[in-house]
Amino acid sequence: MLNLKNKVAIITGGGRGIGKATAIALAREGVRVVVAARTTPEIEAVANEIQTMGGQALAIQTDVSKEEDVQHMVQKTIEAYARVDILVNNAAVNIRPKSIVDLTLDEWNWLMRINLTGVFLCSKYVLKHMMDQQSGKIVNVSSIGGRRGGKGRTPYRPSKAALINLTECIAAEAKEHNVNVNTICPGATVTQMIKDLYPNRSTLTMMEPEDVANVIVYLVSDAAQALHGASIDITGTS
């Protein structure tokens, strides 16, 4: 029993890929969804699709690396729905493989602000409400790349490795407030990011965003209550 009807979820990076698939999958379960990302037309399109399905959705333009944006996102969610039960920290960016000696500080800082600081900010401001409610679910989207380093994969893989540890830290604080916090580590998935970075790479053996979304739906449901502070690899069967 998933027991998700009328829950309220915030999905960052919700305009495309895994975020979009998760927003739609949760809406099908009766969740009221806040779709957040920097690109307004994309999140409005997702919200409209959910509303056309008969669900409830709100699009909020948000840059997760900016504290004022995150505060605004959470405030608007509370104003609209009076609570927040689910947070999926999915927003992330990447750069083409590059030697660390050629990597600029601006590239490092930009990626870390979104991939890691963004998760900190969203968790900080959402967790306050979940602690007051004494309930909630947070899922952080890391990557199988966070499990190991690789040539030319700085700073993306370090940001995803740090996210696994950050999840464990948040989970240790949230446990006494009945808030579950877990990480997923997807392998290669057919997203716009992958297509932009690796235009010549075959997608035939990759997972679809819906495959990952299905795991997230499970993790935010009552069925996954026993999972806490876990990092779960999602690699498909190919």
Strand arrangement of the beta sheet that strand 8-12 belongs to: 57-61, 32-37, 8-12, 86-89, 136-141, 179-186, 231-234
Q: What confidence tier does 211 reach under pLDDT thresholds 50, 70, 90?
A: very high
Please say if the pLDDT value at position 143 is more than 60.
yes
- As a whole number, the mean pLDDT across the chain is 95
Q: What angle do CA 200, 203, 205 make, to 5 degrees?
A: 135
Q: Considering the entire predicted model, what is its pTM?
A: 0.95
Please give the sequence-ordered ranges of beta strands (E in DSSP) within the chain, or none if there are none.
8-12, 32-37, 57-61, 86-89, 136-141, 179-186, 231-234
Q: What is the pLDDT of residue 237?
A: 64
- Sign of the alpha-carbon dihedral angle for 9, 12, 16, 17: negative
Q: Six-digit token pair at 51?
A: 């509303």
Would you list the domain boundaries of the chain?
8-234
**Residue keyed to tokens 């690899």:** 233
Mean pLDDT of 120-145: 97
| CA dist., res. 93 & res. 38, Å (int) | 12
Which overall architecture, per CATH, does domain 8-234 show? 3-Layer(aba) Sandwich (3.40)
What pLDDT score does 190 carry?
Answer: 82
Q: Could you report the per-residue pLDDT of 50-74, keeping only the tens digit for each? A: 999 999 999 999 999 999 999 999 9
Average pLDDT on 191-197 reads 82
Q: How confident is the model at residue 192 (pLDDT cuts 50, 70, 90)?
A: confident
Residue 212 Rama label (left phi>0; alpha psi -120 to 50; beta)? alpha
If you average pLDDT over residues 13-34, what whole number do you get? Answer: 97
Express each pLDDT in 85-112 by its tens digit. Answer: 999 999 999 999 999 999 999 999 999 9
The whole-number pLDDT of residue 9 equals: 98
Q: Give me the active site residues, please.
A: 156
pLDDT at 56: 98
Joined together, the tokens standing for residue 191 give 């997203």
* pLDDT value at residue 154: 96
Higher pLDDT: 192 or 70? It is: 70
